[in-house]
Amino acid sequence: MKKILVLIICINYSVCWPQKAGEFVIPTGIAALSFVAINSEKKEIAKEISQFRSKEFIINNIIGNVSQRDVSFETESLASDDSAGLISVAFNCSEVNKKGLLLAFLGNNRDSNGSIGLAYGFKYIPLVDAQNLFKRIDALKEKHKKYLNAENDVNNIYIEHDDLKFILYRDGGDKVRVLWNGFEVIWERTAFDRTKRRLDRWFE
């Protein structure tokens, strides 16, 4: 019994802990997080996430099992902020009637053991919902412009979309803080506007 227990612990450790810098742990569910080695470069990880891991998430969690069919789909990297905390990717698969925005969060998060490490996770937003969310945020910025401008980093507007939480405020410019699944990142104005603009253009 002890030998079996030791074997289970060893297997679990080898699966859940990255062995090399930049090595990824594949998520097992829609809200699952993947942790990366502590000395990995954020910019390199962001590139890996937008170009490769996003596709892995799409086929596993959005398209799903295709059996004997061959299914075509398209992706396009839209924007990443300077800190690489939030990466946006457009996605389209006509054959399963799914299209929209994939947000990739990258930053510190807490694993199942309570330890904090660098992790990433994906949130999928269908196209119409994503476009409406951008319109809603822009409208709220305009509606509460006087209030937000009155006190930098003091006055805030809070909204929710599904399990995403947004805090709108000003601190040397418009800021959007996003909280999701243990992540807390600032969606920088340039990356926010670029994502909104390129998403609309890509689906024209």
Reported as a single tens digit per residue, the pLDDT across 167-203 is 999 998 899 999 999 999 999 899 999 999 999 999 9
Residues in the chain: 204
Residue 45: what pLDDT? 83
Q: For residue 4, what is the enclosing H or E element? A: helix 2-16
Number of domain units in the chain: 1
Residue 78: what pLDDT? 95
**Parent domain of 96:** 2-202
For every residue of 5-61, DSSP letters joined together read HHHHHHHHHHHHS--STT-BPPPSSTT--EEB-TT--HHHHHHHIIIIIHHHHIIII
Task: Read off the pLDDT of each residue in 52-71 and give the average, rounded to a whole number.
Answer: 93
Q: Which of 114, 88, 108 is nearest to 40 (CA)?
A: 108
Cα distance between residue 4 and residue 144, in whole Å: 61
